[in-house]
Structure 1
Amino acid sequence: MRPFEVELRRAALRLVRPFRTSRGAETDKHVLLLQWRTEGPHGPVSGWAECGADPEPTYYPEYIDTVTRALVDVLVPMAREVAAADGPFLPRLRTALDDVPGMPLAKAALESAALDAELRAAGMPLSTYLGGHRDRIPVGVSVGIADSIDDLLDWVGGYLEDGYHRVKLKVRPGWDVEPVRAVREAFGDALPLQVDANQAYRTSDIPHLLTFERFGLLLIEQPFPADDLLAHARLAADLRTPVCLDESITSLGSAAAAIALRATDAINIKPARVGGYLTARSIHDLAAAHGIPCFCGGMLETGVGRAMNLALAGLPNFTLPGDISATSRYFAQDITQSFELVDSCLVPPTGPGSGADVDLDAVEEVTSTRITC
């Protein structure tokens, strides 16, 4: 393996609209960017990745400061030791990362940056490496919790005009039945509609959740805490509407357990949460073998993560519209090329690696701190 260095950049991009879920609200996307710099066969190569961590541990136990320390103190030095040994680098890096307990967000970011650099050097698109085959990715839109029903209806109407054909509403106790009913009444029963609770309910809420049956939803996503697979299994047994797991799916093992317990009818795969795109592909394959459809989830990614998610979403068992959405849904100005709707789909880039064309000037404008290791 050629020598390399990793630069970590902490950055922030303003969202076009605050995004509110049952876990809190965001007005800016705070992100840790990784640049993996090395020499390729034809000159310098940079691989890019973004970490899924937030500034505070409100959604995941890992957050930007802890990920930074993990990368600087443990993971990058470990990767350097792996690179110094003989043999193919990426398989040995993945084995080394698997031997480190925890830290999936940090490990996913490092592996993704290394993978992007290696594929750019080889001239191979990430979609080809993962086994994707689609040149169009059907996507939906995730709609945050609004201040009022009128605001919600304005948002949904605008997204439908933009070309989105599947809508996911964020819900929580006290903001669930009324907004879902209002959207159904305003836009009709033919609208593909699902809800996402981000773990906001408890087992005692099962009778209430059963009342959602009347709305003809595509999915009810992650109603209960991530570790409560038995509650999800109980709801799935009583509910005709499919139950989807998101935060519960943290690894290949957790996906296998959820499927074995019949706790899920669909899986939202977020590559950062499961430790990277290679593990995400393994979860996709496991779900396909059991007839469980998948979609690729989003975490308000910049174009760096959006491009990689589109490559993953080209795999054949991603049969449900993803939560990737267009650049303009989140940012007026991104740090890569924009990805915009074409007939309710996004078009994956075809260049080597992720295909993301990183604008270094734009990155500089949004960077607050950087560390080279």
Structure 2
Amino acid sequence: MSIREVTLHRMVMTLKNPFATSFGTFKEKEFYVIEMEDDTGCIGFGESVAFSSPWYSEETVETNKHMMEKFLIPLLLQDPIQHPNEVSERFKSIRRNNMAKSALEGAVWDLYAKRNNSPLYQVLGGNKQQIDVGISIGIQPSAKDLLHVVEGFVIEGYKRMKIKIKPGSDYQMLKEVRKHFPDTLLMADANSAYTLQDIETLKKLDELGLMMIEQPLEHDDIIDHAKLQSQLTTPICLDESIHSLEDARKAIELGSCKIINIKIGRVGGITESKKIHDYCAEQGISVWCGGMLEAGIGRAHNIALTTLPQFNLPGDTAASSRYWEKDIIDPEVSVYNGVIHVPNKPGIGYEVDRKVMESLRVEKLVFSQTNPVSQ
């Protein structure tokens, strides 16, 4: 498969409601849609997930642009590709920058599936016609506000509530939720807001019967997480600490976690995500697919990945309407009683709504085999 042209559409979408975490509050999402055309005219789409500022990781929208424009797209255009698995190998000479790599690799996977007239999830080896999904809830001003939000999502049928926490907004808030929703699956997401000095607070969470606590300690740590996990009955889930199969292997061997959140962008693409999934299946480690406030294209890639068998916990891929007044795909991602029905159309299974996309686009860059620099 010879890639003829790559187009980067820089997008800005406003969230319906601000989304607060321990490292910042988001009111809009800036990202790139990657449009990739082969020599037959077939088109695949990918989406970048880095934020505008380096809160979650060192990558940003601007660094993604630089890496794709100056390094990754020229590598992608230089030779034909037989299979999407080759993309990560081709990018191997470029260190890190996983979100930039993933954005382009995702478009290759969509293109490859469409060329083969197959749904992406089948190409990946997925075996589910529907997936269970949970919801991620940002930090709320009060317990009353949090209970109101949780109640709404329980009524909608979401299978699991992920509640963002930070010091001073943790145990008491979660205790109130557990009191009012004793049978609801709950987890906490700390986004690296704690240290081992907070161990007594974190141990109190064991009272609440949580599914897991996600990334309580430093974003690059696996040693202290092992120390913490040895003192908690609540499973630790690692997120920011896992960037590769090797990271996952070391964390599991050390006993740093019992669950891993696989985010396609964080680990560098679908190929690496599958490797982590397969290893976790061998080790009996549960995995689930986390979210990065994606628009529809990124959301569709998450859905396809989640059809793999070891994704046995509800992920964060909520309905499009949870975040956007109007998404950039048609139909939008819909959730019915906590379930997403996996589309069976070729590729990601959703059509890109070009009219909506163009109305939200703030920049367009085009790269081709004959001119591998932006036009």
CA distance in 1: counterparts of 2:309 and 2:166, whole angstroms? 32
Show the counterpart of 1:286.
279
Which moved further from structure 2: 322-331 or 137-146?
322-331
Aligned residues of 1:339 and 1:347 also touching (Cα < 8 A): no
Change (3 A) 1:216 1:101: same
Aligned residues of 1:143 and 1:170 also touching (Cα < 8 A): yes
Quote the RMSD (CA, aligned, Å).
1.2
CA distance in 1: counterparts of 2:351 and 2:271, whole angstroms? 22
Show the counterpart of 2:45.
48
**Cα offset, 1:165, TM superposition:** 2.8
Aligned residues of 1:307 and 1:349 also touching (Cα < 8 A): no
Q: Which amino acid aligns with 2:19?
A: F
Q: Which amino acid aligns with 1:268?
A: N
Q: Which amino acid aligns with 2:24?
A: G
CA distance in 1: counterparts of 2:146 and 2:337, whole angstroms? 23
CA distance in 2: counterparts of 1:91 and 1:4, whole angstroms? 19
User: Given the alignment of the two structures, is residue 61 of structure 1 paired with residue 58 of structure 2, yes or no?
Assistant: yes
Show the counterpart of 1:111.
105
**Cα offset, 1:91, TM superposition:** 4.0
Which moved further from structure 2: 345-354 or 277-286?
345-354
CA distance in 2: counterparts of 1:202 and 1:279, whole angstroms? 29
CA distance in 1: counterparts of 2:107 and 2:273, whole angstroms? 15
User: Given the alignment of the two structures, is residue 145 of structure 1 paired with residue 142 of structure 2, yes or no?
Assistant: no
User: Given the alignment of the two structures, is residue 274 of structure 1 paired with residue 258 of structure 2, yes or no?
Assistant: no
SS of the residue aligned with 1:69? Answer: helix
Match of 1:344 among 338, 341, 353: 338
Show the counterpart of 1:24.
24
CA distance in 1: counterparts of 2:84 and 2:178, whole angstroms? 48
Change (3 A) 1:91 1:152: closer
Q: Which amino acid aligns with 1:327?
A: S
What TM-score, normalized to structure 1?
Answer: 0.95
**Cα offset, 1:268, TM superposition:** 0.5
SS of the residue aligned with 2:78? Answer: helix
Show the counterpart of 1:239.
232
Count of residue pairs brought into register by the alignment: 366
Show the counterpart of 2:372.
none
User: Given the alignment of the two structures, is residue 230 of structure 1 paired with residue 223 of structure 2, yes or no?
Assistant: yes
Show the counterpart of 2:183.
190
CA distance in 1: counterparts of 2:144 and 2:85, whole angstroms? 52
Unaligned runs of 5+ in 1: none
Show the counterpart of 1:166.
160
Q: Which amino acid aligns with 1:109?
A: A
Aligned residues of 1:139 and 1:345 also touching (Cα < 8 A): yes
- Spell out, residue by residue over 1:31-68, the C-alpha distance to the aligned partner (whole angstroms, 9 max, x if none): 1111112233xxx2211110111111121111111111
Aligned residues of 2:171 and 2:201 also touching (Cα < 8 A): no
**Cα offset, 1:80, TM superposition:** 1.2
CA distance in 2: counterparts of 1:290 and 1:37, whole angstroms? 39
Which moved further from structure 2: 358-367 or 89-98?
89-98
**Cα offset, 1:3, TM superposition:** 4.2
Q: Which amino acid aligns with 1:126?
A: L
SS of the residue aligned with 2:159? Answer: coil
User: Given the alignment of the two structures, is residue 181 of structure 1 paired with residue 178 of structure 2, yes or no?
Assistant: no
Residues 191-230 of structure 1 mapped to structure 2, 5 A cutoff: 191-230=184-223
Match of 2:118 among 121, 124, 131: 124
Aligned residues of 2:84 and 2:109 also touching (Cα < 8 A): yes
Show the counterpart of 2:306.
313
User: Given the alignment of the two structures, is residue 360 of structure 1 paired with residue 354 of structure 2, yes or no?
Assistant: yes
CA distance in 1: counterparts of 2:98 and 2:52, whole angstroms? 16
